[in-house]
Amino acid sequence: VKQGWDKVIIVGAGLLGGSLGLALKKHALASRIVGVGRRQSSLDTALEQGAIDEGSLDLAEACAEADLIVLCTPAAQVPGQLDTVREAMKPSAVTTDVASTKAAICNHARQTWPQPQRFIGSHPIAGSEKFGPEHAFAELYEDKAVIMETGDHLDPDAEAQVRGLWTALGSRLVDVDPETHDAVVARTSHIPHLLSSCLAELAAGAGDVKDLIGSGFRDVTRVAEGRPEIWRDICLTNDAAILDGLDDLATLIQEARHRIAQGDRDGLDEFFQSAWDARRKVVD
């Protein structure tokens, strides 16, 4: 595996893109990093942070000389940017992304990119409710899982380069096909985020509750302060799996509701004990 690239393009200079730039510099993996964005102000912040060496508002132009291109934009923007990159990049370049949904993006690439394909989808399970390049830090990807697209349609050299990128930054690779990925993260990330948002609304609707808020509420609703565009695009690009998971969640809520309405002491014991076991199983 080649360790390091001459020219790296990071598209989207937010928390994920900015942190990637800082991490590449920390590990001396890039000779030159160009940040591509739609707003000069974000690029200026990323430049000040030292996350990029140069800013550009023109994706096609920036890609022409790039060796590695990483799309760090909201998920619904990625397919269109993949079209631009495919046309503009050198045949030897490699492209990946960091979006939280994978089927729409990976299927788009599979239908439009030449094979063996030099775009490889990635999803680092890393982030924060804080967003923007001002919150970027070089260690964001350390000790985090990165979910990787795999398959015979991928170019082995490109695949090795993208896998080498993440392992060089301290991430561990987990191979999951895009459809399974989307179905699982709908239930482990997207729906928890949606509910966190609904719970913030519910509490705000209860009046002036500031004095009555505890650490439980803070934790349950922390992610509701995530970047709206990111979560909008996740919903737009993983709608089927999210709707499916919301059906199952509705059933779980209905069961709890029934036990409360019935004053079902044993049933409620069982409900909370089972959730306790479930959380231990998933997290510990």
d(CA 163, CA 40): 31
Nearer to a copy of itself, 160 or 236 (CB): 236
Nearer to a copy of itself, 30 or 106 (CB): 106
Supply the minimum distance, in Å, between the C-beta of residue 100 and a copy of itself.
Answer: 9
Supply the minimum distance, in Å, between the C-beta of residue 38 and a copy of itself.
Answer: 16
d(CA 204, CA 198): 10
- Count of residues of this chain found to bind a copy of itself when the rule CB under 8 A is applied: 91
Give residues 154-213 in contact with a copy of itself (rule: CB under 8 A).
174, 176, 181, 183-185, 187-189, 191-207, 209-213
Is 41 a residue that touches a copy of itself (CB under 8 A)?
A: no
The backbone region for 28, taken as left when phi is positive above 0, alpha when psi lies in -120 to 50, beta otherwise, is left
Supply the minimum distance, in Å, between the C-beta of residue 173 and a copy of itself.
Answer: 10
Give residues 83-142 in contact with a copy of itself (rule: CB under 8 A).
125-129
Q: Is the peptide bond before 116 cis (omega within 30 degrees of 0)?
A: yes
What angle do the packed helices 239-261 and 191-204 form, to 10 degrees? 50
Which residue reads 């989307």 in tokens?
Answer: 182
Supply the minimum distance, in Å, between the C-beta of residue 3 and a copy of itself.
Answer: 25
Supply the minimum distance, in Å, between the C-beta of residue 130 and a copy of itself.
Answer: 12
What's the DSSP call for residue 117?
B
What's the DSSP call for residue 102?
-
